[in-house]
Amino acid sequence: MCGIIGISHHKEAGKMAFLGLYGLQHRGEEAAGIVTYDGKDTHVLKRTGLAVDNFDEESIAKLKGHAAIAHTRYSTTGGSNIKNIQPIFVTHRKKPIAVAHNGNLTNTEELYARLEAAGSIFQTSMDSEIMVHLLARTTNGELKEWFSRMLAQLKGAYSVVFLYEDYVIGARDPQGFRPLCLGKLDEGYILASESCAFDLMKAKFVREVEPGEIVIIKGNHIESTFLPKIQEEGRAFCVFENVYFARPDSHIFDDNVYQVRKRLGAQLAKEHPMQADFVMGIPDSGNYAALGYAQELNLPFEIGMIRNHYIGRTFIQPTQFLRDFRVRVKLNPIREVLEGKKVVVVEDSIVRGTTSRNRIQEIRAAGAKEIHMRISCPPIVSPCFYGIDFPSTKELIAHNKTVKEIADYIKVDSLGYLSREGMLEVMKNKNGFCTACFTGKYPTPIPVNTDKLQLEKGHTVTP
C-alpha cells in the first residue's frame, strides 16, 4: 500500500504534490518523493521518512514546473532503502519518464526474467521499475496506444501515475484492486489514491478512475481510454481499504469510508452483541466501527485510550521491532474511565496478534474488570499478493489458531469477528470486492515466489 499523486497544469505543481502527500501520509511512512517538469527540465526530490518532516520549504521551492507526480512509500516489494524510493525517474529517447505505483504485480518474476534476458539493467528491487523497461521496449506510437500496450502486459494490482514530459497519465488495473481518484484544481486536474488528498488543495472531487481505465492529461485537456477485454475481468476492490487503510474522510469504491466503517460496526453488533458499561475503539481506525457498534446496541461510547498523534500507524511499520515500540508509546489507557468496568473493545482487524495482546494487557492493567473484543472484519487467514505486507501465513495468527485460541492468546474474556457475509452486506458493491485474505480464494493466479525481497535475492523463472 502506497500513496500516489499526479498534478497537471498548475504553476506550483510541486507544492500541490507535497500537500497531496501530506493528505496521503497514512498510506506509507517509509519514504516519499516528488518529480516535476517545467517544460524543459525535470526536478526530483526523494527522501526517507515522512514527507512533512523531510521536505522543507527550501527544497519544495526548487521543484519548478506545472506538472508533477509524487509517491509516499510503504514497502510491499523491495527493501526499505534509498534506491527504492519512488517516483522512479528515467530518460528515454531524451525524454523524461517518471512512475509512481501503488499495488503489487503478480507476474513480476516472469517479466523481470524476460526483460533482463533482453538486456535490461535494473536499478531497484521493485516491481514498479518493470513498467519503465516495458515502456522502453514497447514500440512507440500514439501515446494512449503506447501505454496501453505496456499496461496490458501487467498482471495483478496497480494504480499508477506517470509523468511523461508535461503529460500526466493515470491508470488502474482491470479489476480495480487499489483506488485512484480524479479531481479538478483551478484549470488543471489531479490524480490521487484517495479523495482526502484533494481537500488540502481545495480541489474538487470529480470521480474515481474506472478499473482498466487510462487517463491522459496534458494541460487542461483530458481524455481516457480502456484496456482491452476489461469486461472479462471481475471487480476485485480491496475490502481492507475500507476496513483499515483508507482515511475515513475519503470517498473510494463509490462510498464514504467513515460511513462504511460505522455500518461494519453496526453489523458486528448484530452478529456479536454484548451488554457492557461502554464501548470503546482502539484509536484511530477502530473508533468508527466502535461508534456504529455502540449506536446499534444503545450503549455508551467512550474514549478509553488516548493516541499520541506524533506516532505513525503501527501496522505499516516495516519491522516487528518498530511495531512493538510504537504499540508501547502510541496509546495510553485512561484509568479513570476503565477501572472496574466491563468493556467492549472494537478493533478493525487482528493480523499478527502481538499488537492486540499488548493493548489488552494495558487496558487490563488500567483496571478493566471484563474485556470483550470485537473485530470489524473476518479472521485474516491468507497472505495478500496485491499490496498488503502480510505475505506469510506464519505471521497470520488466524491461520494458525482458532478464535478461542486467539482469545486466550490476547487474554480477552470473549472475542467475536464479523462474518464475511456481514462485511459484504454493508458494502454498496457487494460482489465487487477481493476477500482473499479472509478466504484464500484469489481473483487472479498468484505468484510462485512470494518473497517481498525476491528481486534482491534473485529469481528462478526462466524467460
Question: C-alpha angle with apex 423: 418 to 428, nearest 5 degrees?
Answer: 165
Per the annotation, the verdict on 238 as an active-site residue is: no
- Do residues 124 and 40 touch, judged by C-beta distance below 8 A? no
- Do residues 20 and 7 touch, judged by C-beta distance below 8 A? yes
Residues near 341 by Cβ (< 8 Å), separated by ≥ 6? 276, 277, 278, 367, 368, 369, 370
Distances (CA, A) of 411 to 36, 217, 254, 395: 51, 54, 38, 19
Return the CA Rg of the chain.
Answer: 22
Q: What are phi and psi of 4, to 5 degrees?
A: -125, 150
List the catalytic residue out of 2, 384, 434, 437. 2
> Which of the residues are catalytic?
2
